[in-house]
Amino acid sequence: QLKETVYLDKLAVAGQMAAAIAHEVRNPMTTIRGMIQFLGSTTSDPKLKEHSPLLIEELDRTNKIITDYLSMVKPDEPKLERISLENVLIDVVSLTAPYGAINNVEVTTSKIGSYQVCIDEQKLKQGLINIIKNGIEAIEENGTIHVYQYKLTKRNITIAIEDNGKGMTETELEQIGLPFYTTKAKGTGLGMMVTYKLIQDMGGKLRYESELNEGTRVLLTLPLYTKSNPLPEEVIE
């Protein structure tokens, strides 16, 4: 019992240190990024002009790795609020549509009833974006990601995020969400681990169904806001 407490304390310290370092590293990175962007757009040097987008891309990738690690070691407490799920999905689809478009993938959503859920909006969005991005990246030439209402019960709503990408084998399916599990050259293998945690923290569930060379369906179940299942007392404002 005592040993475990000491270990958890150390883990918390490690998390705080990681957060502090990430914060300190990000500030100069932002300056460097701005400078490269400025130089790249004003320079007459063709080499600098040609290579500056790659520099920026690599900086953004570094930043993403820091973000993924941070949400792993230092997850914030979820702020549960009563939110329209439909609005969240519309937002997330329009946020990911440009990334889809450059990869020849159409991201669509069909009408979802006006249901309210009790969730942390930012965290839900982050999780959905991770799921949709994976779907886009699983499509090799062109395809679609479809987000729709899959099932409704008295207490829960289930949303499907479906892609017609390359799918996964059973072995691959089992490994999704494990830290550092990635099949991508530039992947971090942290996206789904973080997403599982985010969804779990707000009382949701995530399930994967996949068929090799056919596609993948991600099922996200969230607790509905109802009179018998209201907001926890402390978050009523």
What CA–CA distance (Å, rounded) separates 132 from 182? Answer: 16
User: To the nearest whole angstrom, how small is the minimum distance from the Cβ of residue 164 to ligand ADP?
Assistant: 10
Minimum CB distance to Mg ion smaller for 66 or for 112? 66
| 181 binds, options Mg ion, ligand ADP, none, Cβ within 5 to 8 A by partner type | ligand ADP
Residue 129 carries which side chain, given as an amino acid letter?
Answer: I
Residue 167 carries which side chain, given as an amino acid letter?
Answer: G
The residues in 186-225 that bind ligand ADP, with binding defined as CB under 6 A, are 187-193, 216
Binder among 92, 128, 159, 163 for ligand ADP (CB under 6 A): 163
CA nearest to 123, candidates 226, 204, 21:
204
What CA–CA distance (Å, rounded) separates 145 from 31? Answer: 36
Residue ranges of alpha helices (H) inside the chain are 2-42, 46-73, 85-102, 121-137, 170-175, 191-201
Q: Does 134 bind ligand ADP (CB under 6 A)?
A: yes
Q: Which residues contact 100 (CB under 8 A, 6 or more apart)?
A: 106, 107, 132, 136, 145
User: To the nearest whole angstrom, how small is the minimum distance from the Cβ of residue 173 to ligand ADP?
Assistant: 8
Residue 116-155 contact track with Mg ion, rule CB under 5 A, x = bound: ------------------x---------------------
Helices (H) and strands (E) in the chain, counts: 6, 7
CA nearest to 219, candidates 138, 151, 159:
159
Binder among 83, 128, 138, 199 for ligand ADP (CB under 6 A): 138
What CA–CA distance (Å, rounded) separates 115 from 75? Answer: 27
User: To the nearest whole angstrom, how small is the minimum distance from the Cβ of residue 115 to ligand ADP?
Assistant: 24
User: To the nearest whole angstrom, how small is the minimum distance from the Cβ of residue 74 to ligand ADP?
Assistant: 18
| 220 binds, options Mg ion, ligand ADP, none, Cβ within 5 to 8 A by partner type | none
List interacting residues with ligand ADP (CB under 6 A).
130, 134-135, 138, 163, 165-168, 176, 181-184, 187-193, 216
List interacting residues with Mg ion (CB under 5 A).
134, 191
